[in-house]
Amino acid sequence: MPDDSFDQRYIPKEHRFVGTTPIKQDGTDKVTGRAVFGADTHLPGMLVGKVLRSPHAHAEIISIDTSKAETVKGVKAVCTSADFPDIGNGMFADISTNCMARGKALYDGHAVAAVAATSEAAAKEALKLIDVEYKVLPHVIDAKEAAAKDAPILHPGRRPKGMEIDYDTNITERGEWKMGDVEAGFAEADFIVEDEYVTQPMHQGYIEPQACVANYTEDGQAELWTCTQSPWVFRLRMSEILKMEVSRIKVTPSELGGAFGGKTSFYADPLAVVLSRKAQRPVKIVLTRGEVLRSTGPVSGIHTRVKIGMTKDGKFTAAEGEVYMQSGAFAGAGLVNALTGMLCRYSTPNVHTFGFEVASNRPKVNAFRAPNVPQTCFAVEGVIDTLSKQSGIDPLDLRLKNAAAEGFKNLHGETFGPIGFVDVIEAAKKHPQYSAPLGPNQGRGVAAGFWFNRGGETTASVNLSSDGTVNVMLGTPDVAGSRISMSLMVAEELGIDPGRVRTRLADTSALGYNHSSAGSRVTFSSGLAVIECTRKCIATVCKRAADTWGIDADSVAYEDGVVRPAGANAGDFEPLTLADICGKAASQGGAIAGHAEIVAKGAGPGFAIHICDIDVDPQTGFTKILRYAVIEDCGKAIHPHQVEGQYQGAAVQGIGWALNEEYIYNDKGVMENPSFLDYRMPVASDLPMIDAVIIEVPNPNHPYGVRGVGEVPLTPTMAAVGNAIGNAIGVRPKSLPMSPPKLLKLMEENELPVAAE
Amino acid sequence: MAKTHITTTVNGDEYEGLAAPGQSLLSFIRDDLFMTGTKEGCGTGDCGACSIMLDGRLTCACLVMAVEADGADIETIEGMAQGNELHPLQRKFLEHNGSQCGICTPGFLVTAKALLDKNPNPTETEWRFWLAGNLCRCTGYDKIIRAVMDAAEEMRGN
């Protein structure tokens, strides 16, 4: 009989279902229009909620008069910060104030009031009649300018984390990490390159705007249907900012129409709950694209200074990194990711990183695919390319000479286990694109990327039905095919066809706490949980069979959906199928189910190399992507099509970040391009096919070797594009986006005729 | 202002409704007819998620007023499958994993079908330019392009 204590170690073996590509079970609903996304829920009596937003980047709110708005026919509720409990200071208070401005508007688009009405027209009319008196204050947009002593201060009286200072500042945090002796390391170097690079904030760009329906009822319960990566996090935060008992709130995740980190925080959801409480009717709020761009979090833009020292034979002796991160209107931008993630893929013995998070009059930043590592890669991989040119060492060879491998203790104190960095570099060297010929005005760039991959709090349940088919309840919303991946892992454990396993998303009342679908943690963490659930089910199935036969529970064997007597009893009884055993559950102790509540640990880090070939038009500065390859170690591809899709999609997001996407603020601090026409994301005609190469170096801490997939493939992209442009035009651009006017200017400044490779 | 009575045919069925002043056809389809397969990504005609066929012409439903649809013949994603038989484009999207999160998928399918209705054999470049009005943030377009090309090939009988 199988041991029901859970062993998460990797076991090398042939798989029947893991690694195959069946059509995902949520697919049909998506191609027929049936899938229910955030905006697709309709409840009887539902009201339309609309939000009034600050037109100023920074302004004191002197008064808000809602009396006229309340008289509009059809208006059922109006809310302002006065309807939210004052919960003092701290993270939850900041979350509340970001959702609804209190005292000051801190960015263009900051919510200041909201209404619920029986029609959209009435709601819009009411918004016009809300009278807000503002006192406009000086504002600051750029992180470095905001860090200056004379900058307008967003939060007077606050002091940064990690710094002892006695004056007001927009710096919200200072961090520092050190390893070895950096000065001694630089003294040993034959080459030292130091440079500064600037990245712009980038919006996650999910096509589905945030949308929710809230229903607060007379008995003090609230239900929320919303598009979220984080149902339990939403519930906890809602309970904190509205002072409600956690279990009175039920969050049901809808299909997620793209998220990429941007739906780990809520914006209008608490407004909908408050409006519903006041109106005693369900309230739906769907953000417009303009609201999404003006008020929901992009990821930080970062100023990065990098200095790397290297010997003649290409070994890095020391590295230093300094960052200024724009965190938006509030603290908390994930500085630690930038400081520990920027250099740890290289086995440099002496490393020092430090940096600052700085508040400015922009929307609070949010997570986005390996938050803050891609920006630092743009800088680090640029410096490494310069070192490659100075030393004449091939760029991939140079990365190979310095690649971290098993046993290297990195800056954040983790000793790497078996990792695939060397494997991906070697695969990249052999990739045909790396030796394909280039024409005039064309360039090739390579860059390496990294992400930690995460674990964390996770729950799941597996229920066997009377016919032996299986339902899996998943607590981590499906951002990238996780339902089919869970079904495949459960099917593999049970040895039954994946078509007999159906995975669905749980609401917050159906399972215990789950951390967000974020950090590339889902296939690893929820994978561990559903495997544990399934093994518990198998143990019960075996016991039921043994009881039926009147033999010891350890005298039976389970394989491929069938229990057989084993050992001394082998052949004594007819085998029993899952359906045989599950069908008798009522007379044998009840339904067969397994549940798991874990804090997943041991997610293996992931590494990638991207190869980018581009063509720069010397007349216009326009960059065309000619060829693009993503070579990445994901540990194990449970469903390879889903993995390839992640590699390709992330790379294309990075291409957008590299070439086009940026926030344009006018001199009043108002965003001038809050639409998909002007915030230009890549379209099909911008791109070639993206070659996705899956490398599998198993994670020793997952039965199938899973690491994580979705974040690593954004990390090297802008660097690969930037290095390619540098090789095409002869000078490496150091700020994003690398748009045509900027490239033309760069070529002019450097008096560069566009050179043939 | 009073609402306007309109009659439209959607996927072969006749519907009546009251269009509010300023109401988009997209809102009418989603909020009045409860056909939520047609998606709103931007409301300004930039993302293609609300693509429908309006009197045989590929249209962003967010850019048309509901009152303009009086007497019109509309096709949406809900009408693409025939009974239990998915359209080849829908099947190929599933086989190639051309749909990741799925929010853009109905728009891509309606748009792709509109091209195949007039050109059964588009090149990859033609596909990429035809679909350039449809934004997808998940896939990088690779698997979408493979899906539509494979569907076109199957529909040509190869």
Place of tokens 């389809």: B29
CA of A188 vs chain B CAs: smallest distance (Å): 44
CATH number, domain containing residue A481: 3.30.365.10
pLDDT in tens, B73-123: 999 999 999 989 999 999 999 999 999 999 999 999 999 999 999 999 999
Quickly list H helices, chain B.
25-27, 88-96, 105-118, 124-130, 142-155
Question: In angstroms, rounded to a whole number, what is the distance separating the alpha carbons of residues A453 and A603?
Answer: 6
Structural domain contains residue A275:
no
Please check whether residues A539 and A594 belong to one and the same domain: yes
**Which among B90, B97, B103 has the least Cβ separation from residue A642?**
B97
* Helix, strand, coil fractions of chain A, as percent rounded to 5: 30, 25, 45
Among A559, A575, A600, the domain boundary falls at A600
Please check whether residues A610 and A742 belong to one and the same domain: yes
CA of B148 vs chain A CAs: smallest distance (Å): 12
Structural domain contains residue A187:
no
Residue A39: list chain B partners with CB under 8 A.
Answer: 30, 36, 39-40
User: Are B104 and A31 in contact (CB < 8 Å)?
Assistant: no
Place of tokens 């674990």: A455
Token reading at A210: 């945030």
Task: Assign A522 a pLDDT band (cuts: 50, 70, 90).
Answer: very high
Mean pLDDT over A21-43 rounds to 97
User: Are B132 and A256 in contact (CB < 8 Å)?
Assistant: no
pLDDT of B60 > 70? The answer is: yes
What is the helix (H) or strand (E) element at residue A742, kind and residue range? helix A740-749
pLDDT in tens, A283-300: 999 999 999 999 999 999
Contact A52, A127 (CB under 8 A): yes
Which domains does chain B show, CATH number per domain?
A: 4-79 (3.10.20.30), 88-155 (1.10.150.120)
pLDDT-wise least confident of A277-281, A553-557, A648-652, A707-711: A553-557
Exposure on the CB side of residue A587, measured as CA atoms within 13 A: 7
Structural domain contains residue A679:
yes
Q: Which amino acid is at A573?
A: F
pLDDT in tens, A180-204: 999 999 999 999 999 999 999 999 9
Question: In angstroms, rounded to a whole number, what is the distance separating the alpha carbons of residues A142 and A146?
Answer: 6
Contact A216, A273 (CB under 8 A): yes
pLDDT score at A15: 97
- B:114-153 residues touching chain A, CB 8 A cutoff: 125, 127-129, 131-146
Question: In angstroms, rounded to a whole number, what is the distance separating the alpha carbons of residues A370 and B157?
Answer: 44
Please check whether residues A583 and A699 belong to one and the same domain: no
Residue A167 three-state SS: coil
pLDDT score at A757: 40
CA of A419 vs chain B CAs: smallest distance (Å): 26
pLDDT in tens, A449-470: 999 999 999 999 999 999 999 9
Residue B10: list chain A partners with CB under 8 A.
Answer: none
Contact A54, A295 (CB under 8 A): no
Place of tokens 């291409």: A655
A133, burial (CB in 10 Å: exposed 0-12, middle 13-18, buried 19+): exposed
Token reading at A696: 């599998």
- Hey, is the C-beta of B53 within 8 angstroms of any chain A C-beta? no
A122 pairs with which residues across the strands? none
User: Are A257 and B39 in contact (CB < 8 Å)?
Assistant: yes
A625 pairs with which residues across the strands? A614
pLDDT of B49 > 90? The answer is: yes
Please check whether residues A463 and A489 belong to one and the same domain: yes
Structural domain for A552, as ranges: 27-35+455-600
Please check whether residues A578 and A670 belong to one and the same domain: no
Residue of B75, B97, B113 to mutate for A, most A C-beta atoms under 10 A: B97
* Helix, strand, coil fractions of chain B, as percent rounded to 5: 40, 20, 40
Question: In angstroms, rounded to a whole number, what is the distance separating the alpha carbons of residues A190 and A454?
Answer: 37
Please check whether residues A524 and A558 belong to one and the same domain: yes
A574, burial (CB in 10 Å: exposed 0-12, middle 13-18, buried 19+): exposed
Number of other residues whose CB lies within 10 A of the CB of residue A443: 25
Please check whether residues A649 and A669 belong to one and the same domain: yes
Please check whether residues A675 and A692 belong to one and the same domain: yes
Contact B20, B83 (CB under 8 A): no
Please check whether residues A698 and A595 belong to one and the same domain: no
Among A600, A630, A653, the domain boundary falls at A600
User: Are B143 and A681 in contact (CB < 8 Å)?
Assistant: no
Question: In angstroms, rounded to a whole number, what is the distance separating the alpha carbons of residues A539 and A126?
Answer: 61
User: Are B97 and A205 in contact (CB < 8 Å)?
Assistant: no
Residue of A102, A97, A109, A62 whose CA lies nearest to A669: A109
Residue A675: list chain B partners with CB under 8 A.
Answer: 42, 44, 46
User: Are B101 and A206 in contact (CB < 8 Å)?
Assistant: yes
CA of A306 vs chain B CAs: smallest distance (Å): 30
User: Are B140 and A675 in contact (CB < 8 Å)?
Assistant: no
pLDDT score at A6: 84
Number of other residues whose CB lies within 10 A of the CB of residue A183: 11
Q: Quick check: bond before A737 cis, omega within 30? A: yes
Place of tokens 């065309």: A624
Among A547, A574, A600, the domain boundary falls at A600
Chain A, chain B: beta-carbon pairs less than 8 Å apart: 191
pLDDT in tens, A477-516: 999 899 999 999 999 999 999 999 999 999 999 999 999 9
Residue A649: list chain B partners with CB under 8 A.
Answer: 100, 137-140
User: Are B97 and A121 in contact (CB < 8 Å)?
Assistant: no
**Which among A30, A288, A684 has the least Cβ separation from residue B99?**
A30
**Which among B42, B76, B140 has the least Cβ separation from residue A687?**
B140
pLDDT in tens, A631-646: 999 999 999 999 999 9
Please check whether residues A479 and A569 belong to one and the same domain: yes
Question: In angstroms, rounded to a whole number, what is the distance separating the alpha carbons of residues A504 and A199?
Answer: 39
Please check whether residues A435 and A471 belong to one and the same domain: no
Report how far apart, in Å, the C-alpha atoms of A289 and of each of A124, A209, A367 are: 16, 6, 19
Residue B133: list chain A partners with CB under 8 A.
Answer: 683
User: Are A649 and B102 in contact (CB < 8 Å)?
Assistant: no
φ, ψ of residue A73 in degrees (nearest 5): -60, 130
**Which among A26, A33, A40 has the least Cβ separation from residue B78?**
A33
pLDDT of A756 > 80? The answer is: no
Residue B31: list chain A partners with CB under 8 A.
Answer: 42
Structural domain contains residue A256:
no
pLDDT in tens, A414-462: 999 999 999 999 999 999 999 999 999 999 999 999 999 999 999 999 9
Exposure on the CB side of residue A623, measured as CA atoms within 13 A: 33
Report how far apart, in Å, the C-alpha atoms of A668 and of each of A128, A362, A497, A664, A672 are: 22, 12, 60, 11, 10
pLDDT in tens, A235-286: 999 999 999 999 999 999 999 999 999 999 999 999 999 999 999 999 999 9
Structural domain contains residue A518:
yes
E-assigned strand segments in A337-486: 351-359, 442-451, 456-464, 470-474
Question: In angstroms, rounded to a whole number, what is the distance separating the alpha carbons of residues A249 and A239?
Answer: 7
Report how far apart, in Å, the C-alpha atoms of A627 and of each of A111, A366, A433, A724, A734 are: 43, 31, 8, 11, 22
- Hey, is the C-beta of B51 within 8 angstroms of any chain A C-beta? no
Structural domain contains residue A205:
no
Question: How many domains, in total, are found in chain A?
Answer: 2
**Which among B43, B76, B97 has the least Cβ separation from residue A289?**
B43
CA of A680 vs chain B CAs: smallest distance (Å): 10
Please check whether residues A471 and A591 belong to one and the same domain: yes
Nearest chain A residue to B97, by CA = A641
Structural domain contains residue A688:
yes
Angle between helices A421-430 and A395-402 in degrees, nearest 10: 160
Pairing of strands A283-286, A47-53: parallel
Structural domain contains residue A155:
no
Nearest chain A residue to B49, by CA = A207
Report how far apart, in Å, the C-alpha atoms of A518 and of each of A229, A267, A374, A476, A709 are: 7, 18, 16, 9, 11
E-assigned strand segments in chain B: 4-10, 13-19, 51-54, 57-60, 73-75
- B:74-113 residues touching chain A, CB 8 A cutoff: 76-78, 80-81, 86, 90, 93-97, 99-106, 109
Token reading at A604: 């293996």
Buried/exposed code over B120-142 (b: 16+ C-beta within 10 A; e: otherwise):
eebeeeebbebbbbbbbbbbbbb
**Which among A34, A676, A690 has the least Cβ separation from residue B42?**
A676
pLDDT of A2 > 70? The answer is: no
User: Are A32 and B78 in contact (CB < 8 Å)?
Assistant: yes
Task: Assign A5 a pLDDT band (cuts: 50, 70, 90).
Answer: low
pLDDT score at A755: 46
pTM exceeds 0.95, yes or no? yes
Number of other residues whose CB lies within 10 A of the CB of residue A569: 17
CA of B137 vs chain A CAs: smallest distance (Å): 6
pLDDT score at B158: 74
pLDDT score at A753: 62
User: Residues of chain A with pLDDT > 70: what percent?
Assistant: 99
Mean pLDDT over A686-711 rounds to 98
Residue of B46, B28, B65 whose CA lies nearest to A290: B46
Mean pLDDT over B122-145 rounds to 98
Task: Please say whether the dihedral angle defined by the alpha carbons of residues A663, A664, A666 and A672, taken in this order, is positive or negative.
Answer: negative
**Which among B30, B36, B102 has the least Cβ separation from residue A30?**
B102
Average pLDDT score, chain A? 96
pLDDT of A160 > 90? The answer is: yes
CA of B57 vs chain A CAs: smallest distance (Å): 20
Question: In angstroms, rounded to a whole number, what is the distance separating the alpha carbons of residues A672 and A678?
Answer: 8
